Structure 1
Amino acid sequence: MAKVLMKGNEAIGRAAMESGCKYFFGYPITPQNELPEYMSKELPKIGGVFLQAESEVAAINMVYGAAGSGARVMTSSSSPGIALKQEGISYIAGAELPAVIVNIMRGGPGLGGIQPSQADYFMSTRGGANGDYRTPVYAPATIQEAVDMVMEAFDVADYYRTPVMVVADGMIGQMMEPVEFKAPKRRELKEKTWATTGTNGERKPNIINSLFLQPQQLEDHCIRLDAKYKEIEKNEVQYEMYKTEDAEFVFVAYGTTARITKNTVDALREEGIKAGLIRPKTLWPFPFKAFNEIPNAKNIMSVEMSMGQMIEDVKLAVEGRIPVHFYGRTGGMIPTPDAIAEKAKEVLGGAR
């Protein structure tokens, strides 16, 4: 299939449609507006439904309803909008419904700004609402990867009956790159016998619910959910190792920041500094095992477009074996390869 030049937001929308998504519920917010705009134009052409809800809260509850019917459904927003959706995401997780949620991240807290950010790491990876739940979180670094991950996210959502998040900073949503829409490796998915599709008098009605008034019932439910999350942790980790075989200084970065940091790695190697990069492609499950594959590492640096959030998982991964440092820009500011390199040299005691 020939490649097509597309803006990130629009490519994500087309990827969802190529994956069988027929329903989209959302609300405008920068910098993801091109995604719902694209869906509003294209979904009706294939018999799908686009609906601009009256709020983000309404949109996520519409997702709950569509997911309960067994349909493939997606919503998207940007940071403050995703925050408003958190209660609904918790309900969807508790009811074990498949859905895909896209967050094109911007600066915060509060309304913040409209420039790129990665400051939603905690909200995305910790379960941003109430209760014991997690959501798989994909973090693309290119528009092609965003396309591929959205396609995979729909299958993962159906396979595990869980909401899945795809998070990208505003730069990935706004920039343009050539992409192709290849059919992903399909999983063997079960028939959705749990869906509320009507009984035709042939079976008892399905009830979709996350309300358990008896403590023992709720604990049993949470234990069952936890077993599912352990399976996801076992089977769905994705990461990239870049020039880490002999690396003594290892960066950890994801998304656009990882693309920038690769340039830093190359520049430091030209100066004789053995640098490398671990790039998480899934933020949850986090690739803890990747940190067992850097035997020569003497220093690790988490590079983020935030004040430091992923660094907590990096520290958990190394368990105190290796010093962990941090470099970040936030509020819509983007780190440069030179600034990252200078911070690394500062850690090493100055330029060599």
Structure 2
Amino acid sequence: MGKILMKGNEAIGAAAIKAGCKCFFGYPITPQNELPEYMSRELPKNGGVFLQGESEIASINMVYGAAGAGARVMTSSSSPGIALKQEGITYIAACELPCVIVNIVRGGPGLGGIQPAQSDYYQATRGGGNGDYKLIVYAPANLQEMIDLVQEAFEVADYYRNPVMVMGDGMIGQMMEPIEFKEIPKRNLSPKDWATTGTECKRNPNIINSLFLAPEELEDLNIKLQKKYKKIEENEARYEAYSLKESEIVFCAYGTTSRIVKNAIDILQKEGIKAGLIRPITLWPFPHEAFDKVPTTAKGIISVEMSCGQMVDDVKIASNGRWTVGFYGRSGGMVPTPQEIVNKAKEILGGVK
């Protein structure tokens, strides 16, 4: 199959079906509504089940049940809806159940607006629910990467028995770009012998549970989870290093913002200022090793975000005091322009007072 033109939200649905998704549970919210609409139409044609829950809370608990039965299952929402799902997400993480969660981010806080934003970074990377748990979080920058990562997310979720979030801003969901469905490398997956599929009187029943009244048992679970997260950090961090050679200023940006930054880099290069970009593809695990590629010519790093600076903490940790870390961002659905980013770079370099 050659390239086809698709809208972002619909392309996500097509990628999920291609990856073997058999269940989708969700609730409508802008700007991701085309995704459940697509799944309601196309998933039953491919032997799957679509169900619109009565709320986001109901929907994530349906995901919990389907994942516990071993199905490849997905939900999607936008920022306030993802916030409502947090209790269910922490249950799923505690029970080590694989699922894929798509978040097409809009501006906040509160109900906010319906314009694109990246203000769910903390919610995604710190664990928005209770307890010591982590989600694997992908942040694609274009539709081709989005559909590739959605398909990979199902493999990674099954491999680690962990929820995976694919996070894109509202522009990713609404834009149209040419895409091509590729074969995604398969993981060596273990049988789902833990799933609650019925015993047929041939084995003891499987029990899926996140309540441990004995503190020793709950600590054992946490130790087990932390070992898994360490393995994920060692093996799954991904990033793009762009135009870093001899850079005087290095940007760190993800998703749609990274595309705007690349335009700013072009402007700076034409003005004789060398600039580069570190683009995290996984927001968790954050690609700390990417910052070892920052050249000694760099005078500073700027985190550029469609938020009030939530990624800055991770950039500072990864920089480990080696460079000054600045920030430029727009929030509430406002989108930074290349020239605004250029001006901030010049300010840090001492060219603008």
- Paired with 1:276 and 1:321, the residues of 2 have a C-alpha distance of 16
- Paired with 1:277 and 1:321, the residues of 2 have a C-alpha distance of 16
CA deviation vs aligned residue, 1:35-70 (integer Å, no higher than 9, x gap): 000000001111211000000000000000000000
Q: Which residue of 1 aligns with 2:261?
A: 261
Q: Cα offset for 1:298?
A: 1.5
Q: Cα offset for 1:181?
A: 1.0
- Asked whether the equivalents of residues 244 and 295 of structure 2 are also in contact (C-alpha less than 8 Å), the reply is no
SS of alignment partner, residue 327 of structure 1: strand
SS of alignment partner, residue 66 of structure 1: helix
Kindly provide the amino acid, as one letter, of the partner of residue 228 in structure 1.
K
Structure 1 length-normalised TM: 0.99
Kindly provide the amino acid, as one letter, of the partner of residue 340 in structure 1.
I
CA deviation vs aligned residue, 1:115-173 (integer Å, no higher than 9, x gap): 00000000000011000100000000000100000001000000000000000000000
Unaligned 5+ runs, structure 1: none
Q: Which residue of 2 aligns with 1:63?
A: 63
Structure 2 length-normalised TM: 0.99
Q: Which residue of 2 aligns with 1:316?
A: 317
Q: Which residue of 1 aligns with 2:329?
A: 328
Mapping for residues 75-224 of structure 1, pairs under 5 Å? 75-224=75-224
Q: Cα offset for 1:295?
A: 2.5
Runs of 4 or more, structure 1, over 6 Å off, are none
Kindly provide the amino acid, as one letter, of the partner of residue 82 in structure 1.
I
CA deviation vs aligned residue, 1:272-297 (integer Å, no higher than 9, x gap): 11100000000000010111111322
Kindly provide the amino acid, as one letter, of the partner of residue 315 in structure 1.
K
- Paired with 1:180 and 1:295, the residues of 2 have a C-alpha distance of 35
- Asked whether the equivalents of residues 90 and 131 of structure 2 are also in contact (C-alpha less than 8 Å), the reply is yes
Q: Cα offset for 1:299?
A: 0.5
Q: Which residue of 2 aligns with 1:40?
A: 40
- Asked whether the equivalents of residues 301 and 326 of structure 2 are also in contact (C-alpha less than 8 Å), the reply is yes
- Paired with 2:223 and 2:68, the residues of 1 have a C-alpha distance of 22
- Paired with 1:246 and 1:255, the residues of 2 have a C-alpha distance of 24
- Paired with 1:245 and 1:158, the residues of 2 have a C-alpha distance of 38
Tell me if 1:305 matches 2:313: no
- Paired with 2:46 and 2:249, the residues of 1 have a C-alpha distance of 50
Q: Which residue of 2 aligns with 1:294?
A: 294
Kindly provide the amino acid, as one letter, of the partner of residue 306 in structure 1.
S
- Paired with 1:223 and 1:295, the residues of 2 have a C-alpha distance of 37
Which range moved further: 238-247 or 100-109?
A: 238-247
Q: CA RMSD in A?
A: 0.9
How many residues align structurally? 352
Kindly provide the amino acid, as one letter, of the partner of residue 337 in structure 1.
P
- Paired with 1:274 and 1:3, the residues of 2 have a C-alpha distance of 34
Q: Between the two proteins, what is the percent identity of the paired residues?
A: 70
- Paired with 1:41 and 1:307, the residues of 2 have a C-alpha distance of 38
CA deviation vs aligned residue, 1:87-122 (integer Å, no higher than 9, x gap): 000000000000000000000000000000000000
Q: Which residue of 2 aligns with 1:272?
A: 272
Unaligned 5+ runs, structure 2: none
Q: Cα offset for 1:351?
A: 5.5
- Paired with 2:87 and 2:213, the residues of 1 have a C-alpha distance of 18
